[in-house]
Amino acid sequence: MYIDNVSSTTILEKTDPNPPKSWRQWLIGRPLQTADAPHQTISKTIGLAVFASDALSSTGYATQEIMMTLALAGAGMGAMSYVGPISIAIILLMVIVSISYQQTIHAYPGGGGAYIVARDNLGELPAQTAGAALLTDYILTVAVSISSGVAQIISAFPLLEPYKVIMAVVMVLMIMLINLRGVKESGRVFAIPTYFFVVCMFITVIVGLVRYFTGSLGTVVNPPEFDFATTMGSVTPFLLLHAFASGTSALTGIEAISNGITAFREPRSKNAGITLVWMSAILGTLFLGISFLAGTIAAVPSESETIISQLARTALGGQGLPYLLTIGATAVILLMAANTAFADFPRLGALHAGDGFLPRQLTFRGSRLVYSWGIAALGIIASLLIIVFQASVTRLIPLYAIGVFLSFTLSQTGMARRWWKSGHLKIDEKIVEPGSTIVHERHWMVKMMINGFGAVCTFIVMLVFAVTKFLDGAWIIILLVPVMVSVFFTIHHHYKSLAQKLSLENYSSRPSTVRNRVILLVSGVHRGTLNALDYARTLGPDVTALHVSVDHIEAEKVRDKWNTYGEGVRLVILDSPYRLLVEPVLGYIEKINAIRQPNEMMTIVVPQFIPSHWWENLLHNQTALILRFALLFKPNIVIVEVPYQV
């Protein structure tokens, strides 16, 4: 009993605590009560598995995409020596971003995604832009990760190549289902394979490095053919920037933890912050190791065998069990990465919806306390994307990462602005924002410079990405984000103007309804009609029966029977020379409507025969349905279907 001062007119009832069972329960588990929610949080160890898999898994394709860009430009395999320096530049960028986000996590213990930070500090437009960018990016995370995961599997089992699209789609739907069951269980499901991947990759890299330094590593045996026709070019600054842009996909997912702080156990910020440090360290080490070794063994970027596969079989000595375990672990973590997006996309969607920028349904938590609508939407859109791009990582990658860097930029700018405000507060002053409260901070200037530097760096990277990859597909995102933002604002306008129109402010002198005019439609006089007549008479004293006559003989019959059974209620017969049914009724209502007094209601009662089987509806007119649509937009007219079951 949460409402303690129940007024005399209020009754509080508890509904049955045992919800009904159904096929959905079998599929996604038993329903959880709202009161169960706070317990659904996770430890650092599981948090790393849930939120870091996206970032870590990008080692599965980031190196490959740098090499692919260099190779596609036809710069020759000599250009592969740039892979190392490019990777180092990317890791530097990662360090900058990680430090920036560390500050965000501590400033926003309630969850500090780019959306919230931008909303609190920069305003609605930047916030919606950041949100739109991130939402597109989460979708691409699913599409890219799953496609890369399938590519790993195909590297080991080339016979599966024709089935790659269908495999990818099935995997997306499987992960969707797991997420509909709820975050805690999916965290547990994913913890073991994530750590298994980390161990496998470290073994591969360490063995590779040891063999390199002992001189026994050599190069790839039977490397795949480079399967793209290219024109011969040379290494230009543009090409290097292009390759760098491809590699920045390694940074996607690094923001996941700051969005999901509330999922961590208390103390949330500290646990989340430590997890972020661990994640960055592992990611940086593995990415650098892979990039270095890939160059050393002269791996060839290809759609038929991944760089990871070439590295693993070279370092681990052929396609034995160690190779298979490593490839398996890589494939699995890529699938897990999609899970990160399934954790964050619905949460961000719910934030947008809560602020009235997306359909409110996205804020509803399903029977398992997860945002079911968001999860389902992500699964479906990502599947479509995979089908359109035929599960090709190289074709998907130009759409990826630009959104992330846009949101990085907005988020860091917002944080910088926040420190600026903080610095200008007196010791006791505070500014209360929806996301967090700003108080005076001692080192605000240093913190502002850190976030400011992060903002500048990520902004430059975003520009580089947009320019170098514009024609490859980045234009789609550059076009899509503004469209999404304007849709968000249209939705927002709708909710805002609706709330205004429904508002009870300045609502005092309400003239009450004086009269309810009831019109009963009569197609023939039978038990169903008399049942409806009974009902119509309970609605008020002013009842008129209305019959549309397309057949004079039929009309005579109705009149005669009505005289017997109509209980003295007035019957109006409308002659319909064109055999129309709905139009004469509408005309009559229009006429009555014109002479109606203010606040007089009109109720149209339609006897609705409910057959025992759905197909039997095909054997009857659906007059009530047509009337409902025709009268939907007329004020003060209500249509009542009185069901008559046989």
452 vs 566, which CB is nearer to its own copies?
Answer: 566
Distances 239 to 230, 292, 345, 397 between C-alpha atoms, Å: 14, 19, 33, 16
Query: How many CB atoms sit inside 10 A of residue 466's CB?
Result: 17
> Distance between alpha carbon 355 and the CA centroid of its chain, in Å?
15
Q: In angstroms, rounded to a whole number, what is the distance separating the alpha carbons of residues 87 and 243?
A: 10
Distance from C-alpha of 540 to C-alpha of 503, rounded to nearest angstrom:
30
For residues 639 and 628, the answer to whether their CB atoms sit within 8 Å is yes
Token code pair at residue 445: 């200037």
Q: How far is the CB of 184 from its own copies (least distance, A)?
A: 17
Segments in 19-123 forming alpha helices (H): 23-28, 44-57, 62-72, 83-107, 114-121
Phi, psi dihedrals of residue 315, rounded to the nearest 5°: -70, -40
In the complex with its own copies, the residue whose CB is nearer, 170 or 571, is 571
| Smallest gap from residue 539 Cβ to its own copies (A) | 6
Angle between helices 268-296 and 307-315 (to 10 degrees): 70
Nearest to 558 by CA among 533, 584, 590: 533
Of residues 265 and 620, the one with the C-beta less far from its own copies: 620
**Region for 248 from its dihedrals, namely left if φ exceeds 0, alpha if ψ lies in -120 to 50, beta otherwise:** alpha
Query: Please, which residue, 1 or 471, has the CB nearer to its own copies?
Result: 1
- C-alpha dist (Å) from residue 80 to 70, 88, 297, 330, 391: 7, 14, 11, 23, 26
Least Å distance, CB 85 to its own copies, is 50
List, in sequence order, every residue forming a beta bridge with 520; answer none if it has no partner: 545, 605
CB 31 to its own copies: min, Å: 5
* Rounded Cα–Cα distance for residues 341 and 253 (Å): 8
Of 299 and 605, the one with the shorter C-beta distance to its own copies is: 605
Question: Quick one: 19 or 123, whose CB is closer to its own copies?
Answer: 19
Closest CB to its own copies among residues 38, 568: 568
27 phi/psi in degrees, rounded to 5: -80, -45
What are 93's two structure tokens? 């960028």
CB of 376 or CB of 569, closer to its own copies: 569
Q: Measured from the CB atom, is 227 or 575 closer to its own copies?
A: 575
Residue whose structure tokens are 């609508």: 373
**Beta carbon of residue 544, minimum distance to its own copies (angstroms, whole number):** 9
What length is written for the chain? Answer: 646
CB of 578 to its own copies, least distance (A): 5
Evaluate whether 41 touches 265 at the Cβ level (below 8 Å): yes
Structure tokens at 558: 């109705």
In the block, residue with structure tokens 């004469």: 584
Minimum gap (Å) between residue 502 Cβ and its own copies: 4
- Select 213 or 578, whichever has its Cβ closest to its own copies: 578
Residue 636's identity, in one-letter code, is N
Task: Give the list of residues 6+ apart from residue 98 with CB closer than 8 angstroms, or none.
Answer: 254, 276, 277, 280
* 222 vs 597 by CB, closer to its own copies: 597
Q: CB–CB of 358/349 below 8 Å?
A: yes
Q: Count of CB atoms within 10 A of residue 163's CB?
A: 14
- CB 500, min distance to its own copies, A: 9
| Minimal distance, residue 604 CB to its own copies, in Å | 11
Question: Do residues 600 and 514 make contact, with C-beta atoms less than 8 angstroms apart?
Answer: yes
CB of 381 to its own copies, least distance (A): 16
Task: Judge contact between 382 and 142, C-beta under 8 A.
Answer: yes
Question: Least distance in Å: CB of 382 to its own copies?
Answer: 21
Find tokens 């949330």 and name the residue: 268
Helix (H) or strand (E) holding 439: strand 437-439
Query: Do you find a cis peptide bond into 267, omega within 30 degrees of 0?
Result: yes
219 and 13 Cβ atoms separated by less than 8 Å = no
- Burial readout 168-178 (b: 16 or more C-beta within 10 A, e: otherwise): bbebbeebbeb
CB of residue 346 vs its own copies: minimum separation in angstroms? 15
> Between residues 34 and 222, which has the closer beta carbon with respect to its own copies?
34
Tokens of 554: 């039929």
Nearer to its own copies, 12 or 471 (CB): 12
Q: What is the end-to-end Cα distance of the chain in Å, rounded? A: 43
In which residue are the tokens 């809560």 written? 354
Nearer to its own copies, 222 or 538 (CB): 538
Contact 606, 624 (CB under 8 A): yes
CB of 165 to its own copies, least distance (A): 29
CA angle 101, 102, 103 (to 5 degrees): 85
Nearer to its own copies, 214 or 503 (CB): 503
C-beta of 611: minimal distance to its own copies in Å?
7
Minimum CB separation from its own copies for residue 584, in Å? 4
In the complex, least distance from residue 435 CB atom to its own copies, rounded to whole angstroms: 19
Residue 429 or residue 554: which is nearer to its own copies going by CB?
A: 554
